[in-house]
Each structure stands twice: as C-alpha cells, then as structure tokens.
Amino acid sequence: MKTYIVGNWKLNFTVGEASIYLHKLLKNLPNYRDVEVVVAPSLIALQPLSLQIDRHKMKLAAQNAFYRDYGAFTGEVSFSQLRGIVDYAIIGHSERRYIFREDDKMVAKKVAAAIRNKITPILCIGETESERAFGETADVIRDQLIGGLSEVSDDDLDKVIIAYEPVWAISSVRECKLATPDEISEVVKLIKKALKDTYGANLAEKVPILFGGSVNPSNAGSYLTVPGINGLLIGGASLILGEFTDIMEIAKRVRA
Ligand code: PGA
C-alpha cells in the first residue's frame, strides 16, 4: 500500500499564490515511488492547477463538492464537474460537519458521488473533545465511519480512504492538543474492527487509514509509524512549502 501525504489548504492562497507554490514544489519534487503526494487547493484553483501539475509526481484533491451531478443547486459544484480535474476529494471534514452542518447522510451521498465520478473519497471522521471526555469516541467513530460508507457497495470499498482526524487535535481549534501515537493506535483499531465487522477481513485490510491533526515535520515520523497508519492529512504545515516537503522526505524514510 502507498503512503499518502495530503495537504489540505483550506481557505488559503489566491489562484496565483497556489500556482507559485506548486511551481516551486514541482521543481524539486522527486518521483516518489511509494509516496502519493496530494494537495487540496480552493475549488477555484483546481482547474488551472490541473493543467500545471505533473500527475506522475502529484495529484489534486477537492476539499468538498455537491453530491448531485447537475440541477437547481445554486452555488454548488458537482463531483461530475470535477471528474478528470481531481483524483481525490476530502469529504466530511470536521469543518464541513460543524460549520456547514453536514451530517452522515449528506457525507454518505458525497462519498458515493465521488466514487461514481472516479474520484477517490478521503472520508474524514473524528470525535470532539467533549465526546472523548464522555467516553463516546468508539460510538462516534463507528457511526461516522459506517454512516459515511453506507452508500458504498462492497465492490467499491477498496476505492475509499479513511482519515482519522480528532477534532481536538486540529491546529485551528482553540487550545488544540497533540494526539499521542497510543491514542491514534487505539482509534485505528476501532476503525479496523468496524470495517472488518461490516465488510469482512479481506475487504477491510484494503482501506488506507490516514491521520490528521497538527501534523508537522517534528511529529510526522512518530505518527507514520503508528501501526495501521498509511499516511497523513496535513492542514497548517502544508501551507509552508519547506514543512510539507520535509514531511514527504520523512514519509520516504519511514517507507525505506
Ligand atoms: P492541521 O489541519 O494540520 O492544521 O491541524 C488538519 C486538517 O484539518 O485537515
């Protein structure tokens, strides 16, 4: 299985800034064999950047899209419109769940729409600080995971990536905390068990699991060595070219 290094730029960078960043990144980016490098710029930058990138070296992801392919949905962009422009889409990020009120039903429809349009969904799941404090982590993880996958057929399970992002560890959350490798490992076990119980062991082991939450070059190595972790989803540090490339190098070393 590949190691995925995914940069989530959120609402940052103009189209021009994004293009300059990618120009610099591509200039020195080796062709990593086992590390899949992905960035998720703003929607408006995706089309021009798709003409700029070298897909042998890296891929693009959308941060969101709407689940219907076309119709009277003012302001939305569909996965079908993104087909051929992006290879991945981040779906169900906690900012979408809590700021834009996306529930598991909507997340499930988006995951299905991505697959239908040949885009790999990166389904984000994770508990809040209070859910953890009340001992609800296992239930939340299971509900978001199985809920988000509810429209995916068994045959398509190998087209999905899961990202575990505890909301309390995301750098933009006030007084965020760093997750420990042990805490991540516990949740990876929960995810694997839920996948196994629902889809069987063979299918379950094909699903990559990423970790996200305040990842930077000093903790990336310890997170990448958590058993069952296949990559990282990086917010803040992915905006700093040097930090993002350092994390790729760490991923390459961990693989070697
Ligand atoms: P962070 O963001 O790395 O800045 O914590 C991760 C994310 O929200 O995907």
Q: Please report, in tens digits, the pLDDT of each residue of the chain (256 residues total).
A: 999 999 999 999 999 999 999 999 999 888 888 999 999 999 999 999 999 999 999 999 999 999 999 999 999 999 999 999 999 999 999 999 999 999 999 999 999 999 999 999 999 999 999 999 999 999 999 999 999 999 999 999 999 999 999 999 999 988 899 999 999 999 999 999 999 999 999 999 999 999 999 999 999 999 999 999 999 999 999 999 999 999 999 999 998 8
Report the distance separating Cα 243 and Cα 37, nearest Å: 14
Give the distance (Å) from ligand 1 centre to CA of residue 93.
Answer: 10
Residues with CB under 6 A from ligand 1: 8, 165, 170-172, 212-215, 233-237
CATH of the domain at 10: 3.20.20.70
The backbone torsions φ and ψ at residue 61, rounded to the nearest 5 degrees and listed phi first, read -130, 150
Burial of residue 71 (number of CB atoms within 10 Å: 0-12, 13-18, 19+): exposed
* 165 noted as active-site residue: yes
Number of domains in the chain: 1
In the annotation, is 243 catalytic? no
Contact at 8 Å (CB) between 164 and 118?
A: no
Give residue 59's domain range: 3-255
Distance (Å, rounded) from C-alpha 90 to C-alpha 122?
5
Hey, which of 172, 218, 219, 244 would you mutate to test ligand 1's pocket, going by the most ligand atoms within 8 Å of its Cβ?
172
